[in-house]
Structure 1
Amino acid sequence: MINFIFQFPQQLGRIRSGFGICFLCLTVPAAHAQGVDSECIVRAEQIARIGASTRGVIASIVVDRADRVTGGQVIAELEASEEDSQITLAKLRLGSDIALRLARLKAETAEANAERLTTLVGRSLVPKAEQEEAVLAARTARLEEEEALLEHRMAEAELAAAEAARERKRIRAPFDGVVTEKLLSVGELYTEQGPVVTVVSVDPLHVEAYLPVSRRAEVAEGRTATLTLETGDTVEATVDVIDPVLDAATGTFGIRLILPNPDGAILAGQSCRLRMDG
């Protein structure tokens, strides 16, 4: 906008050549009134190239390219017959608590016998040596019970270890998203050298833009911007991050915006135009 300001001097004689009162002054709008207009790009919030934590032959892959997955979902498994056998054996050992129950019964019986003989010794009805032998037997039986209990707990630990080894053969999605790549197939050997699948998070999306330092005062976290996508659609995103450091080479600073995408209709990777009114 151009403002015209006319000033008429009451005494023209005061006007000197090259100087004097301005007859026409142009005022330029303040920078903040111009708003922010910049190129931007839509990116996925997270990209994960997923593999197993151990090597093995791929037994199954239950997803394909473009499939949606949820966080924690098993999307592939390595061959795990050995781990399955270890789990079965550990469950059998853990499920059979006969040794523990027998040891506990023996300990209780031995202690009851020792108490009975202690009473009889007090009445001088049995020899002291017999009572002492019974007390020793009771203590021995209690130690055997503790040993049986320790073995039972070791069986629990073995089962947990076997299940952990089995879990390492499973490949799970780390978050809700979409499969963008399936790099291996059933029967191939996975060697921990690369991913089996790639999963991308598409809700929300991130929008990246770089603005000149002159626009720094116009941007604040939580501010809404209007985006025009390559498809021609117009959407709104919210400023989430403002870089605290400028790029000295370009005189710009980066911002990141959050773009909701609950139905997955907005494609990550496309360019856009960002606008914030002044």
Structure 2
Amino acid sequence: MRIIPPLTALVVTASLYALVMERDSLLAFARGEEATDVETEAEATAPAQTKLADAGDGAIHVAVVAVHSTARAIDNAVVLRGQTRAVREVDVRAETTSTVISDPLRKGASVKAGDILCELDAGTRPASLHEAQARLLEARAKVPEAEARLEEAHAVLDEAQINLTAAQKLSEGGYASETRLASAKAAERTAQAAIASAKGGLESTRAGIESAVAAVAAAEKEIDRLVLHAPFDGILESDTAEVGSLLQPGSLCATVIQLDTIKLVGYVPEAAINRLSLGAQAGARLTTGQQVAGHVTFISRSADENTRTFEVEITVPNPDLAIRDGQTAEIMIASQGTKAHQLPQSALTLNNEGQLGVRVVRDDRTAGFVPVTLLRDEATGVWLDGLPEEADVIVVGQDFVTEGVALDPTYQEARQ
């Protein structure tokens, strides 16, 4: 019987036992350490592992960094985009039909209120005016004649009434016949009818005068429409009508805009409209880099049906005409101040519902979530509304904790 195979099997079995059962002692022997030290280390490690496992029942505290934040008063503002608009813009249009006889003015020219923009050919309008004036004189000349007829009719009536009274008295005494009395009554009625006719003739004459006056006024107005004037001081935005061109009612003579005062027009969402008030200070930065300031002069009471926004106008002085109509502007309107917390932008997080907010350390040293509103974003941090007057806000580790998690907070000095 060969002895080598059993010895080999014995050696292999011993080696496997040493590797599996006495691994720590074997490693200590390889490092030159004593076995008792290894056993002591193992015994010291075992209780620690047991404590870590026992801590899994909720006693583990997550380390975070927080700041003691106190709300401070800030000047709030509503920011929106808009554009500049001329304070007044008018299309001067013709009110009658005729041809232009004045030389045109070129766009960009400055005009004063009352300056002639377009002059039209008068045609037969002066003759029509003279005719209306002649009819007025003729109608006025008929007034004395109509008044004389009325006075004559009154005199005839007085005479008829005297004769009727005499006939009635004579008839009562038996000295006048019934025929004479009836004739006197008929004469009185005839005189009354003559008065009514004379009054009608006088009223007709006066109506003729009024008609003639209206005809004269219409002829004069038609002549006035031949000259189109600038309605206010401004600048021509288009050339005036050329000589010889035919203008009809509604045809454009020129467009005049006023730019010595400019309006900034923007649209405010309904969520911020109650933060604005008439007279509030406002400023704007134009695309050219120019900065302007003014006051709110109009806040719409009706929202746009499509965008649900409200129109706001800010009036800005522009004496040097440096601001043009239609420029894009970034507008900031001052609103009532409020208290807010200034925190690092990195402190913001989202909850499971997607709400923007921050994680805070509660009084029981557990994590909580508070929704906030972003008021302003600056280089030094963001200003937030929605937090209580004082709050311990987590600024490091807020994304690794959830509602109710126990915390081990370390506090750092808040940025002022």
TM-score (norm 2): 0.49
Q: Which SS does the other structure have where 2:218 is aligned?
A: helix
Q: Is the 8 A contact 1:236 1:259 kept in 2?
A: yes
Q: What do the CA deviations read for 1:183-239 (whole angstroms, capped 9, x no partner)?
A: 412321114574110011325322134678887676554321223446665331223
Aligned-residue offset at 1:99: 0.8
Counterparts in 2 of 1:92 and 1:261: CA distance versus 1, 3 Å: farther
Q: Which runs of 5+ in 2 are unaligned?
A: 1-51, 171-179, 335-375, 377-416
Amino acid at match of 1:41: Q
Could you tell me which residue of structure 1 aligns to residue 263 of structure 2? 206
Q: Could you tell me whether the CA contact under 8 Å between 2:101 and 2:120 is conserved in 1? A: yes
* 1:17-96 correspondence runs (5 A): 20-24=62-66, 35=77, 40-60=82-102, 65=107, 66-70=109-113, 75-96=117-138
Larger Rg: 2
The amino acid across from 1:102 in the alignment is: E
Q: Distance in 2 between matches of 1:215 and 1:195?
A: 41
Q: What is the letter of the counterpart of residue 246 of structure 2?
A: L
Shift of 1:42: 1.7
Q: Give the whole-Å Cα distance in 2 for the aligned partners of 1:268 and 1:226.
A: 17
Match of 1:9 in 2: none
Does structure 1 conserve the Cα–Cα contact (< 8 Å) formed by 2:295 and 2:314?
Answer: yes
Query: What is the alpha-carbon distance in structure 2 between the residues aligned to residue 143 and residue 100 of structure 1?
Result: 12
How far the C-alpha of 1:22 sits from its partner, in A, is 1.6
Q: Give the Cα separation in 2 of the matches to 1:156 and 1:252.
A: 53
Counterpart-to-counterpart distance in 1, 2:310 and 2:68: 31
Letter in 1 for 2:279: G
Q: Structure 1 residues 131, 262: closer, same or farther in 2, change over 3 A?
A: same
- What is the distance in 2 between the residues matched to 1:108 and 1:17? 122
Is 1:69–1:179's contact at 8 Å kept on the other side of the alignment? Answer: no
In structure 1, C-alpha distance between the alignment counterparts of 2:263 and 2:91, rounded to whole Å: 19
Q: Return the offset for 1:123.
A: 3.1
Query: In the alignment, residue 202 of structure 2 is paired with which amino acid?
Result: E
Structure 1 unaligned spans of 5+? 1-12
Instruction: Tell me: CA distance 1:191–1:134, structure 2 relative to 1, closer, same or farther (3 Å).
Output: closer
Q: Deviations over 1:127-148 (max 9, x none)?
A: 6366655554444333322222
- Map 1:143-222 onto structure 2 (within 5 A): 143-174=200-231, 177-192=234-249, 194-209=251-266, 219-222=276-279
2:318 maps to 1:261? yes
- 2:153–2:191 contact (8 Å) kept in structure 1: yes
Could you say what secondary structure the match of 2:151 adopts? helix
Change (3 A) 1:117 1:40: closer
1:105 to 119, 138, 148: 148
* SS at 2:279 equivalent: coil
Task: State the alpha-carbon separation in 2 of the partners of residues 241 and 18 from structure 1.
Answer: 57
1:241 aligns with 2:241: no
CA distance in 2, matches of 1:133, 1:246: 74
Classify 1:19/1:56 alpha carbon distance in 2 versus 1 (closer, same or farther; 3 Å): farther
Q: Is the 8 A contact 2:85 2:264 kept in 1?
A: yes
Paired residues in the alignment total 261
Distance of aligned partners of 1:113 and 1:49 in 2 relative to their CA distance in 1, 3 Å threshold: same
Using the alignment, how far apart are the partners of 1:77 and 1:150 within structure 2? 35
Q: Structure 2: how far apart are the matches of 1:34 and 1:148?
A: 74
User: Is residue 223 of structure 1 aligned with residue 265 of structure 2?
Assistant: no
- Closer, same or farther in 2 for the Cα pair 1:37/1:117, shift >3 Å? closer
C-alpha RMSD of matched pairs (Å): 4.4
**1:115 deviation in Å?**
0.9
Question: Does the 8 A contact of 1:228 with 1:272 survive in 2?
Answer: yes
User: How many Å separate the matches in 2 of 1:44 and 1:137?
Assistant: 68
Distance 1:130 1:24, change over 3 A: closer
Classify the secondary structure of the residue corresponding to 2:236: strand
Distance verdict in 2 for CA 1:215–1:64, change over 3 Å? same
Cα distance between partner residues in 2 of 1:163 and 1:52: 16
In the alignment, the residues of structure 2 paired with residue 227 and residue 269 of structure 1 have an alpha-carbon distance, to the nearest angstrom, of 14
Alpha-carbon distance, 1:95 to partner: 3.1
Q: d(CA) in 1 for partners of 2:311 and 2:188?
A: 86
Give the letter aligned to residue 234 of structure 1.
Q
TM-score, normalised on structure 1? 0.69
Contact 2:104 2:240 in 1 (8 A): no
Local SS of the residue matching 1:187 = coil
* Matches of 2:309 and 2:153, distance apart in 1: 84
